[in-house]
Amino acid sequence: MRHDGSRIETVAAWTLALLWLLPLAYCFWSAFHPAEYATRFDLTAPLTLENFARAWRQAPFARYYLNTVLLVTMVLAGQLVIATLAAYAFARFRFVGRDIVFGLVLVQLMIMPDVLIVENYRVVSGLNLLDTIPAIALPYMASAFGIFLLRQTFKSVPNELVEAARVEGASSFGVLWRVFVPLGKTTYIAFGLVSVSYHWNNFLWPLIVTNSVESRPLTVGLAVFGAPETGVDWSVITAATIMTMAPLLLAFLLFQRQFVQSFMRAGIR
């Protein structure tokens, strides 16, 4: 039995949801219709893929895709390894200065590499890495967030399991690899999804450290492609915009539940 109040709420929720999808719907409309319909809404307008073809021809999007995939893979792989090791140390070892060091790690939660662009640029250019994909990845490689999450997970691993592995003669690394890593699976997935979507979308830092097509990720490629000075051809730009977000959007639509749960898990502290 539903009463009126809840029906009104349902309507309100749906209205908000449709409003929320409106900008995206607009984007899809103009990308899939000829340019003359970009600003005119007519249900009889013919569908076309020409805008995508033109965007693809006008800028090296294939290369941008490759760069972004490389970037995201590199960041994630680095983050997982480095955070696993560090989290293991924090969760399972008692050593001198642990709390201070942990505090130093947490500094990065507040003052992220995103705001240290000026000095990080100096560092990266000092390492002679400008205009490379590692230059984009390195500042994010040690993720305080990842260390924090995994530490929480590792702390909840029951002692009996650790002891059992020890009795079987496993080394420190063996314990980590055979006990902790498998038990952290959900955390890894959660962190992985959050990290991938963050770095797929990251823009300002890659904009600063990349100069050429060979290292530009998709977001920078899109910004350069759509520079308003070029007199903005909306249909083509919206097509390029959709190309940029398509893989992530598609993955999200397919694995919606995992995404939402991962973000939820990553958010609970």
Partner 1 sequence: MVAAAMISARPKTAKRLRWAANANAWLLLLPALVLLATFTHYPILATLYHSFFSLGRSGPATFVGIENYQAMLEDDVFWQVLRNNLVFALATVPASIALALLMAVWVDRKITGRSFLRLAFFTPTVLPMIAVANIWLFFYTPDYGLLDQILRFFGFSGHNWLGDPGTVMTCLIVMVVWKEAGFFMIFYLAALQTIPPELKEAASVEGAGRWYFFRRVTLPLLMPTTLFISINALINSFKLVDQLVIMTKGGPNNASSLLLYYIYEVAFNFWDTTYAATLTVTLIAILAVIAITKFVYLDRRIHYQ
Partner 2 sequence: MKFYTKALLAAGMITAAGWGSGTAHAVDLTMYYPVAVGGPLTNVVDDMVQRFQKENPDIKVQAVYAGNYTDTMTKAMTAMKGGQPPQLSVLFSTDLFTLMDENAIVPIDDLVGADGKGWLDSFYPAFMENGRIGEKTWSIPFQRSTIVLYYNKDAFKEAGLDPEKPPATWAEMAEMSKKLVKKDASGNVTRWGVEIPSTGYGYWMLQALAIENDQRLMNETGNKVSFNEKKTVEALQYWVDLSRKDQVMPTGAIEWGTLRTDFLEGKTAMMWHTTGNLTAVKDAAKFNFGVAMLPAKERRGSPTGGGNFYVFKSATPEQQKAAVTFIRWMTSPERAAEWSIKSGYVAVTPKAYETEAMKTYVQGFPQAVVARDQLQYAVPELSVHENGRIYKIVNDAVQAAVTGAQTPQDALESAQKQSERVLNRYR
Residues forming contacts to partner 2 in the complex (CB under 8 A) are: 39, 57-59, 121, 124-125, 127-132, 134, 208-209, 211-213, 223-224, 227-234
Find, among 240, 255, 256, 262, the residue nearest to 65 by Cα: 240
Which helix H or strand E contains 67, and what residues bound it?
A: helix 61-92
Residues 54, 236 contacting (CB under 8 angstroms): yes
Q: How many residues bind partner 1 (CB under 8 A)?
A: 100
Q: What are phi and psi of 251, to 5 degrees?
A: -60, -40
Binding to partner 1 (CB under 8 A): which residues in 249-268? 249, 252-253, 256, 259-260, 263-265, 267-268
Residue type, 173: F
Residues 185, 193 contacting (CB under 8 angstroms): no
Q: Which residue among 13, 53, 164, 254 contacts partner 1 (CB under 8 A)?
A: 13
Nearer to partner 1 (CB atom), residue 48 or residue 224: 224
Residue 106 in contact with partner 1, rule: CB under 8 A: yes
Tokens of 178: 């055979």
Q: How far is the CB of 26 from partner 2 (least distance, A)?
A: 16
Q: Which residue among 10, 125, 211, 230 contacts partner 1 (CB under 8 A)?
A: 10
Tokens of 235: 């249909």
Residues 225, 241 contacting (CB under 8 angstroms): no
Residues 74, 133 contacting (CB under 8 angstroms): yes
Counting Cα atoms < 13 Å in the Cβ hemisphere of 188 gives 15
Nearer to partner 2 (CB atom), residue 203 or residue 252: 203
Q: How far is the CB of 40 from partner 1 (least distance, A)?
A: 9
The interface partner of residue 233, options being partner 1, partner 2, none and the CB cut-off 5 to 8 Å by kind, is partner 2
Q: How far apart are CA 208 and CA 131, in angstroms?
A: 9
The interface partner of residue 59, options being partner 1, partner 2, none and the CB cut-off 5 to 8 Å by kind, is partner 2
Write the interaction track for partner 1 spanning residues 50-89; mark x where CB under 8 A is met and - where it is not: -------------------------------xxx-xx-xx
Binding to partner 1 (CB under 8 A): which residues in 203-232? 203-204, 207-208, 218-219, 222-223, 226, 228
Q: How far is the CB of 229 from partner 1 (least distance, A)?
A: 11
Residue 234 in contact with partner 1, rule: CB under 8 A: yes
The interface partner of residue 46, options being partner 1, partner 2, none and the CB cut-off 5 to 8 Å by kind, is none
Going by C-beta distance under 8 Å and a sequence separation of 6 or more, which residues neighbour residue 241? Answer: 27, 31, 222, 226
